Amino acid sequence: MKQIILVEDDPGILDPMIIILRNSGYAVTTFLDGVLILNNDFSPPDLFIIDKQLPGVDGLEICKYLKSRKETSSIPVIMVSATPNIHTLGKAAGADDTIEKPFQIHELRDVVAKHLTR
Amino acid sequence: MSIDLNRNITSWNKGAENLYGFAAEEVLGKSLELVLLPEDIKALIEKVNDIVNEVTVPIYKTIRIHKNGRHTDLEILLSPVRNANGVVIGVSTVARDITVRKMHEQQKDDFIAIASHELKTPVTSIKAYAEILHEQLEQSGDEASMEIAKKLRIQVNMLIVLIKTLLDTTKLGAGEMLLEVEQFDLNLLVKEQIESLVAVSDNHNLILKAGEIKPISADRKLIGQVLTNIITNAIRYSPGGGDIIIATKMSENGVQVSIQDFGVGIPASEQGNIFDRYFRVSNPLTSRASGIGLGLYITAGIVHQHGGTISLVSEEGKGSIFLITLPEGGKQKE
């Protein structure tokens, strides 16, 4: 089963995302902020989904960090945000894809599938 | 306050003293340029020329300088001063301080921007749950409940469009609309828009007359929004149905797209305002049409931000033609 690490602090978004991803057959581990990731305290997943606006360190910084380390640089990162220019910001931070909130279920599924079926 | 045709001050009343801080004896006979920003001098010369040529100058907004150096936001009405023979010999200026009004507008925009952005998070959650519910009911075969979940999804999507509209409005007001420019074929985009809008109405024919045009450099998503807005309006304001013709061609200033309907049209008295914020055409035939009067404001804003133009030819009872021109190379800035 493919492993996804989902970093999102808002339970209103986190809960439905977990349902959608688990229903699609993925194993999901959730973090409410980036602390554990920045401390390298996690088992490398097949994919990261990271919200931009997080308490403490911004999601884009976490993305940059993951892309800068040899151990994680090849793991796809999808950035999620309500900011309309997330596409530009995500690209600049090295993200493999971006999703703008509010999104459609199928958008989330399609983007995740695109990076996990390679 | 008034000036002669060389822009020298010829009269200066109490109102002008309060507004600019200068006493009459300090400024009479001196050039009005004393209170103008250097970059506005040329515009004033043109406006004075217009008045000499009997062209009416619409009320306009500008910034002028107070004696103490402070900048003041003003709304200005210019009108001719004539001699006994009716010849224009000067220009009278009525100015109104709108600094406070502008500050209120800014506060209102800031509030809408924050509120809409904050609304996006709960609405993302509601939308996701509504879609999950819809799918689960679909799988369980509960038709009646599924119908309710479907309506819930439609309403959530309407709310999302409304939030986006409000956010776009405040961004345009603040000049913060970001363009993600790419090169694309406008004909293809128009074709896609037509295909997605065909289902909106059964009794309208959306006809594409695609001319030979060069690719344009623009924000494809935003230009798509412009086309959707205008075509949806054309459908909405031709309640009797009929043809809606979307044509593209090269023009002097770039690529031109025209959208023509044969609906109710827009009264001449209202044509000057239709691109204003919160303006809605007052037509009893379409009073049921919903909207908050921001669609064309945003549409025009997007076109202008691309360095393009938008205009209207319309006759009441006969229909309207919207003409949009976009520079083929795109705007170099941004």
For position B319, what pLDDT does the model report? 92
For position B67, what pLDDT does the model report? 93
- Residue A18: its chain B contacts at CB < 8 A? none
Cβ–Cβ below 8 Å for A101 and B122: no
Q: Is B139 exposed, middle or buried (0-12, 13-18, 19+ CB in 10 A)?
A: exposed
The answer to whether residue B289 scores a pLDDT higher than 50 is no
The answer to whether residue B205 scores a pLDDT higher than 70 is yes
For position B287, what pLDDT does the model report? 47
For position A117, what pLDDT does the model report? 83
Q: For residue B234, give the H/E element and its range.
A: helix B220-236
Pairing of strands A27-31, A3-7: parallel
Cβ–Cβ below 8 Å for A16 and B117: no
More confident residue, A29 or B317: A29
More confident residue, A48 or B180: A48
User: What b-and-e string marks burial along A49-64, b requiring 16 or more CB atoms within 10 Å of the CB?
Assistant: bbbbbbeeebbbbbbe
**What is the rounded distance in angstroms from the CA atom of residue B132 to the CA atom of residue A19?**
8
- Stretch B290-307: mean pLDDT, rounded? 83
For position B281, what pLDDT does the model report? 66
* Residue A11: cis peptide before it, omega within 30 degrees of 0: no
Cβ–Cβ below 8 Å for A102 and B178: no
The answer to whether residue B57 scores a pLDDT higher than 70 is yes
* SS3 assignment, position B236: helix
CA B103 to chain centroid, in Å, comes to: 20
Q: Which of A6, A8, A9, A13 has the most B C-beta neighbours within 10 Å, making it the best mutation to test the interface with B?
A: A13
- Stretch A57-79: mean pLDDT, rounded? 96
Q: What ranges in A24-82 are assigned the alpha helix state H?
A: 35-38, 59-68
Point out the least confidently predicted range of A68-72, B285-289, B303-307: B285-289
B150 lies within 8 A of chain A by CB? no
* Tokens encoding B124: 């993302």
Closest partner CB to B125 (pick from A13, A23, A85): A13
- Stretch B149-170: mean pLDDT, rounded? 85
For position A110, what pLDDT does the model report? 96
Q: Is B112 exposed, middle or buried (0-12, 13-18, 19+ CB in 10 A)?
A: middle
Q: What angle do CA B311, B312, B317 make, to 5 degrees?
A: 175
Cβ–Cβ below 8 Å for A12 and B121: yes
Q: Which of B125, B162, B171 has the most A C-beta neighbours within 10 Å, making it the best mutation to test the interface with A?
A: B125
More confident residue, B279 or A36: A36
A25 lies within 8 A of chain B by CB? no
Cβ–Cβ below 8 Å for A102 and B135: no
DSSP E strands in chain B: the ranges are: 2-4, 9-11, 60-65, 71-82, 88-97, 181-184, 204-209, 216-219, 242-251, 254-261, 309-315, 319-326
* SS3 assignment, position B170: helix
Cβ–Cβ below 8 Å for B121 and A16: no
Among candidates B99, B100, B41, which has minimal Cα distance to B74?
A: B99
Show Cβ contacts of residue A68 under 8 Å, excluding neighbours closer than 6 positions. Answer: none
- Stretch B313-330: mean pLDDT, rounded? 89
pTM for the full model? 0.63
Q: What is the mean pLDDT of chain B?
A: 87
Cβ–Cβ below 8 Å for A105 and B132: yes
A19 lies within 8 A of chain B by CB? yes
- Cα distance from B118 to chain A (closest Cα, Å)? 9
For position B334, what pLDDT does the model report? 38
Cβ–Cβ below 8 Å for B121 and A85: no
- Residue A112: its chain B contacts at CB < 8 A? none
Q: Is B224 exposed, middle or buried (0-12, 13-18, 19+ CB in 10 A)?
A: middle
Chain B segment 177-216 residues within 8 A of A by beta carbon are 178, 180
The answer to whether residue B72 scores a pLDDT higher than 70 is yes
Point out the least confidently predicted range of B64-68, B162-166, B180-184, B303-307: B162-166
CA B123 to chain centroid, in Å, comes to: 27
Question: For the segment B122-157, what is each residue's pLDDT rounded down to a tens digit?
Answer: 999 999 999 999 999 999 988 999 999 988 988 898
Q: List the single residue in B with minimal CA-CA distance to A107.
A: B128
Question: For the segment A13-23, what is each residue's pLDDT rounded down to a tens digit?
Answer: 999 999 999 99
- Cα distance from A16 to chain B (closest Cα, Å)? 6
The answer to whether residue B293 scores a pLDDT higher than 80 is no
More confident residue, A81 or B281: A81
More confident residue, A48 or B275: A48
Q: List the single residue in B with minimal CA-CA distance to A51.
A: B121
CA A74 to chain centroid, in Å, comes to: 14
Cβ–Cβ below 8 Å for B125 and A16: yes
B124 lies within 8 A of chain A by CB? yes
- Stretch B189-206: mean pLDDT, rounded? 88
A82 lies within 8 A of chain B by CB? yes
Chain B segment 70-99 residues within 8 A of A by beta carbon are none
For position B332, what pLDDT does the model report? 44
Question: For the segment A29-42, what is each residue's pLDDT rounded down to a tens digit?
Answer: 999 999 999 999 99
Helix%, strand%, coil% for chain A, nearest 5: 40, 20, 40
